Structure 1
Amino acid sequence: MTDPTLSPIALLSSAIRRERERAGLSVTELAKRASVAKSTLSQLESGTGNPSLETLWALALALDVPVSRLISQPSQHVQVIRANEGAAAESEQANYAATLLAACPAGAPRDIYRVKVLPGEPRISRAHGPGTHEHVIICSGTARVGPVGRAVEVTVGDYVRYSADGPHEFEAVGGEVVAVMVIEQG
């Protein structure tokens, strides 16, 4: 069992190594499959790196696991994640960050995130696995969300569901947006 007193980066480091070894991959092979520098992966496994959201997604896809398996905290009987706490991952685009709120157990195809998006360029995400959908509830602000070319504008209290197995976008319109996102894998 994972030590719950470990820092988020130590938990991430342990999870990446665990999943890489489970998949029977060397550091070199995983780095190649994920299109990340071997030095970046080595830093992450040693607990000294600070990965972008894109790097985490690339590693998860290369390992064929949900990104939540890499960043989730150990399970507790009662879990509270305060507004500025949790395993947050910022995008290479400085205006987008996602915090894992609940990783579903193995075999359950859903993860829950709190997303904070600042005005700026739209966050374009690569396709997730076949049949993946994202569910978004806007808590504050107004956003354009959905498949590239078919995104819709949503505001406080609105819910949107869209296919995420193709490129999709999330853009803050006019001000900061906070949302809850559920990623449902197909």
Structure 2
Amino acid sequence: MDYLSNNVAVNLKRTRQARGMSLDQVSEQTGVSKSMLAQIERGTANPSLGVLGKITSGLRIEFQELIQPPRVDCCLVTPEDLVPTKEQTGQYKVWTCLPYEDTRLVEVYRIEVEPGATYISGSHGEKTREYLVVTDGVLTIECHGQKYDIHKDQVFKFETDQGHIYRNMGTEKACCTCFFLDYHGK
């Protein structure tokens, strides 16, 4: 099943079930046969634009709602199973665990800094804030002309409109999870 067919299948089924409608009821409301609707929901049909138009019109939804990537209610991410977004061997690794999405203003990273190493990050732009939780070791964060030692299980917040530095001055790997918030227009 291709990307768009999957999106349509998942979104149609979710919309129908959220409204408590049977396939018969959707068929009656849209003018699309029950068997075609069932095939679309299973991802075995490749509906024409005309059929998709009938569905969106009959259900009174925007066409975009039918073809957009389906909402993900739950998502488990194991950073070590991902390919690092940034990496310098023996220095640091950065994983993008949850990237920014169109309607979401938060991005989640995992950063590991080896003993004695430094990771330098540029500005994330105006009206961006980072919430950082150290999960292992101690990280020294340099931002806004100050240095802060963040220990395991401590949480640190700072504006990321300027470059900032993550340093591991210790003897063990330092790890943190970072949450970036974009609050433009807020």
Q: TM-score, normalised by structure 1?
A: 0.54
| Corresponding position of 2:96 | 100
Alignment CA distance shift 1:75-1:90 (3 Å) = farther
RMSD between aligned residues: 2.7
Residue segments in structure 2 that go unaligned for 5+ positions in a row: 7-69
SS, match of residue 129 in structure 1? coil
What amino acid does structure 1 have at the position aligned with 2:178?
M
Matched, 1:179 2:172: no
| Corresponding position of 1:18 | none
| Corresponding position of 2:133 | 137
Aligned partners of 1:99 and 1:80: how far apart in 2?
14
Q: Equivalent pairs: percent with the same residue?
A: 16
How does 1:35-114 map onto structure 2 within 5 Å?
Answer: 78-92=74-88, 94-114=90-110
Task: Spell out, residue by residue over 1:63-96, the C-alpha distance to the aligned partner (whole angstroms, 9 max, x if none).
Answer: xxxxxxxxxxx97554333352124222457512
Task: Spell out, residue by residue over 1:99-156, the C-alpha distance to the aligned partner (whole angstroms, 9 max, x if none).
Answer: 1222343132111111111123422211111111111000010010141531200111
How does 1:15-26 map onto structure 2 within 5 Å?
Answer: none
Q: Say whether the 8 Å CA contact 1:119–1:176 is kept in structure 2.
A: yes
Q: Which has the higher Rg, Structure 1 or Structure 2?
A: 2
Aligned residues: 117
Q: Say whether the 8 Å CA contact 2:138–2:168 is kept in structure 1.
A: yes
Aligned partners of 2:161 and 2:129: how far apart in 1?
7
Aligned partners of 1:138 and 1:84: how far apart in 2?
17
SS, match of residue 84 in structure 1? helix
Matched, 1:118 2:114: yes
Alignment CA distance shift 1:148-1:176 (3 Å) = farther
What amino acid does structure 2 have at the position aligned with 1:97?
K
Q: Say whether the 8 Å CA contact 1:148–1:169 is kept in structure 2.
A: no
How does 1:143-162 map onto structure 2 within 5 Å?
Answer: 143-147=139-143, 149-162=145-158
Q: Say whether the 8 Å CA contact 1:141–1:173 is kept in structure 2.
A: no
